[in-house]
Homo-oligomer: A and B are copies of this chain.
């Protein structure tokens, strides 16, 4: 086999999809969230910390725009920013996350001032933004392919939240129900974009590495949350 040759499309896609094994759906913290083991305080901490990730997504997407020389691709990618920031005040994915945070009992103020933000979460999310600001746009786009793995997780999450945390008002779940609607199309479009523009084996492997990096970012967010919430649970259970 020629080490320098382009991977076949099927092989390239298979290597990307294989990273689903490292997707954060199987992280212990998500398993505890989905099985109803978290306290209300834990759920609040999760919502407040995940906000920082939501808040930084448009910055990451704008960094991709800023690195991408092709107007056609920028035009398509711009919709990601509009999705999160909203077409008007009070709209958009970020606002839906704030409504979830309110539905779990947080004030908007304590989310926005980031008083609950864990350093490990901040560092992981910042690493993702820095990646998008410094790496070729294609790799940053490939990093976003975790959205290929997301729809199943979000369907599971909505069901789990209704079952185990019935105190969360239904409209707090709008973030997830609307993500379920858009991520399959986004994931498929992103995959096509990556496959089309990764024109050397080196680029293909860099895209696979970028997606692995993104899995690490998401995983590290939950590590930080798991560490703090487990510690609290242990303390609460001690005599």
Residues on B with C-beta less than 8 A from A92 are 71
Encoded as 1 (CB less than 8 Å from any B CB) or 0, chain A from 109 to 149 comes to 00000000000000000000000110000000000000000
Interface residues of A in 73-109 (CB under 8 A from B): 74-75, 78, 81-82, 85-89, 92, 94
Assess A85 versus B75: contact at CB under 8 Å? Given A62-B62, A66-B66.
yes
Residues on B with C-beta less than 8 A from A67 are 59
**Contact across chains for B81 and A74 when beta carbons are under 8 A apart:** yes
**Contact across chains for A78 and B82 when beta carbons are under 8 A apart:** yes
A75 to B85, CA, bound (A): 7
Residues on B with C-beta less than 8 A from A69 are 55, 59
A66 to B85, CA, bound (A): 12
Q: Secondary structure at chain A's binding surface: helix, strand, loop or mixed?
A: helix
**Contact across chains for A86 and B66 when beta carbons are under 8 A apart:** no
**Contact across chains for B81 and A85 when beta carbons are under 8 A apart:** no
**Contact across chains for A74 and B62 when beta carbons are under 8 A apart:** yes
Which of B55, B65, B68, B72 has a CB less than 8 Å from the CB of A65? B65
Shortest CB-to-CB span from A23 to chain B, Å, is 26
**Contact across chains for B86 and A58 when beta carbons are under 8 A apart:** no
Known pairs A59-B68, A71-B85; list 16 more (Cβ under 8 Å): A58-B65, A58-B71, A62-B65, A62-B66, A62-B68, A65-B65, A65-B81, A66-B66, A71-B86, A72-B89, A74-B81, A74-B85, A75-B86, A75-B87, A75-B89, A78-B85
**Complex A-B, nearest 8 residue pairs according to Cβ-Cβ distance, in ascending order:** A62-B65, A62-B66, A63-B66, A71-B85, A66-B66, A75-B85, A74-B85, A62-B62
